[in-house]
Chain A
Amino acid sequence: MSIHSHYLPLIKVVSGMVLATDLLDQQGHILLPSGATLTDAMLRSLAHHEIDQLCVVKESVSEDEIKETQKHQLERLHILFRHASDNHATTSLKQYLQNYREGQTL
């Protein structure tokens, strides 16, 4: 998915790892915000939420690389929408994607 984060099955996640994206439940409520450092207690409670994998930060990636990827993704977004019309559906989609890209990294 990206150079700075990856998905791991819950059984391979250990305490001390950092969550790379907001963790949402089925209704879209935030269970844990991105950036949270996972503890054993959190991991135990997640087992009750039908969550089987987590997106965590890869430790070897530097902050510069993260910023670089994010910058590239945001530039691509503008390229992809270069001829888009300004009706409300298109405008909302672009805004949501932009918020998603901006919130994705730490």
Chain B
Amino acid sequence: MMPDFEINKIQVDDVIKKIKDLPILPEVAQELMSSLDNESADLKKINEKIAIDHSLTAKILRLANSSHFGTNSRVVTIQQATALLGVNNIKNVIRMTLMSSSFPTPSCPGFDFKAFWRHSIATAICAELISRTLHMKHDFAFTGGLLHDIGRLVMATYFPQEYAQVIQYQQSCDCSMIEAERSIMHIDHTETGLALAQHWHFSEAVQDTIRGHHSPDIYGINSLASIVHVANAIVHGLDLSGEENDLIPLLSDQAWDTLALTEADYKRIFNETEMRFEAINQILI
């Protein structure tokens, strides 16, 4: 019994140490991230910050000029793009870009970065739609959905060999990722994600989402965890990650009942998730 425990302890400490060695989120990114979640954020200021980042500007203009938004004239400035896409779409593009540019592409064998990215974006879109349906603050929902699995990225990036074993184990016994992580590394992506979220000073709601998206019934946890928990299951069910061996995760009755959505609500959420995902997919992924 003891040796197992010892291994476990070393692994957890190792991961935490690696995370502490990570650079903190660049100042501009951190500032943008927190000002984005502030509903009253001044769009003019956000526009000014976007303009500093050329790759961000290019992405937003590409999205605005995509056929999905159906404009006949070319959009050439951030101001025009904001008017066309709406503040919310702009904020979401910034969030997605921040997330992808904060990590190097992991060199972990077997880790499907594209599928990870597709799943994160689709969950963000779906969580936002659920929170809108419930008339809650949806800005946090998008961020929470986008970042819920960030712990997997931490593990694949900083423990590529160990995580490759996790992926192999998952494939050979056809179990969930979280089970495979616990079996091989004795730590799972909710724990590594939370450590990162604390290190990067993410909002408490987002921290709770990362920690609780597989266990939304933890006492006192932010209700956003339930929303992202259900959004996560929906996105797996809609087959949006494109992963051949994808699996529906455990879905909590309590979280499902708390949302109390009707079949008609879900039907609209399924439909809009697919539609919005398709539009973003063409531009960003």
Contact check: which of A21, A89, A97, A103 meets B255 at CB < 8 Å? A89
Q: Is A80 an interface residue (CB 8 A)?
A: yes
Question: In the docked arrangement, what's the CA distance between A60 and B235, Å?
Answer: 29
Q: Is B62 an interface residue (CB 8 A)?
A: no
Contact check: which of B69, B70, B253, B278 meets A1 at CB < 8 Å? B278
Instruction: Please give, as numbers and ranges, the residues of chain B lying within 8 Å of A7 by CB-CB distance.
Output: 68, 275, 278-279
Instruction: Please give, as numbers and ranges, the residues of chain A lying within 8 Å of B100 by CB-CB distance.
Output: none
A85 and B267 in contact, given A80-B237, A97-B238 (Cβ under 8 angstroms): no
Interface residues of B in 233-248 (CB under 8 A from A): 233-234, 236-239, 246-248
B275 adjacent to A1 (CB under 8 Å) = yes
Q: Mark A61-74, 1 if CB is under 8 A from B, else 0.
A: 00000000000010
Interface size counted on chain B using CB atoms at 8 A = 34
A83 adjacent to B265 (CB under 8 Å) = no
A83 adjacent to B247 (CB under 8 Å) = yes
Q: Is B271 an interface residue (CB 8 A)?
A: yes
Closest to B72 in A: A11
B251 adjacent to A82 (CB under 8 Å) = no
Count of A-B contacts with CB under 8 A? Answer: 87
Contact check: which of A12, A21, A89 meets B70 at CB < 8 Å? A12
- Min distance, Cβ A59 to any Cβ of chain B, angstroms: 17
- Min distance, Cβ A36 to any Cβ of chain B, angstroms: 16
- Min distance, Cβ B234 to any Cβ of chain A, angstroms: 7
Instruction: Please give, as numbers and ranges, the residues of chain B lying within 8 Å of A53 by CB-CB distance.
Output: 70, 275
Q: Mark B251-280, 1 if CB is under 8 A from A, else 0.
A: 111011100001111111011001100110
A93 adjacent to B268 (CB under 8 Å) = no
B239 adjacent to A80 (CB under 8 Å) = yes
Question: In the docked arrangement, what's the CA distance between A53 and B274, Å?
Answer: 14
Instruction: Please give, as numbers and ranges, the residues of chain B lying within 8 Å of A88 by CB-CB distance.
Output: 253, 256
Question: In the docked arrangement, what's the CA distance between A87 and B236, Å?
Answer: 17
A94 adjacent to B237 (CB under 8 Å) = yes
Instruction: Please give, as numbers and ranges, the residues of chain A lying within 8 Å of B234 by CB-CB distance.
Output: 93
Closest to B264 in A: A28
Q: Is B136 an interface residue (CB 8 A)?
A: no
- Min distance, Cβ B64 to any Cβ of chain A, angstroms: 13
Question: In the docked arrangement, what's the CA distance between A101 and B275, Å?
Answer: 14
- Min distance, Cβ B79 to any Cβ of chain A, angstroms: 20
Closest to B256 in A: A89
- Min distance, Cβ B244 to any Cβ of chain A, angstroms: 9
B233 adjacent to A93 (CB under 8 Å) = yes
Q: Is B31 an interface residue (CB 8 A)?
A: no
Q: Is A84 an interface residue (CB 8 A)?
A: yes
- Min distance, Cβ A52 to any Cβ of chain B, angstroms: 8
A83 and B256 in contact, given A24-B268, A97-B270, A99-B267 (Cβ under 8 angstroms): no
Contact check: which of B238, B251, B266, B268 meets A87 at CB < 8 Å? B251
A100 adjacent to B70 (CB under 8 Å) = no
A24 adjacent to B237 (CB under 8 Å) = no
Q: Is A92 an interface residue (CB 8 A)?
A: yes
Interface residues of B in 215-245 (CB under 8 A from A): 233-234, 236-239
Q: Is A42 an interface residue (CB 8 A)?
A: no
B residues contacting A by CB (< 8 A) are 68-70, 174-175, 233-234, 236-239, 246-248, 250-253, 255-257, 262-268, 270-271, 274-275, 278-279
Please list 14 pairs of residues, one from A and one from B, whose beta carbons are closer than 8 Å in the complex, sorted by A's number.
Answer: A7-B279, A24-B267, A28-B262, A28-B268, A76-B239, A80-B236, A81-B237, A82-B247, A89-B257, A93-B266, A96-B263, A96-B266, A100-B270, A103-B267
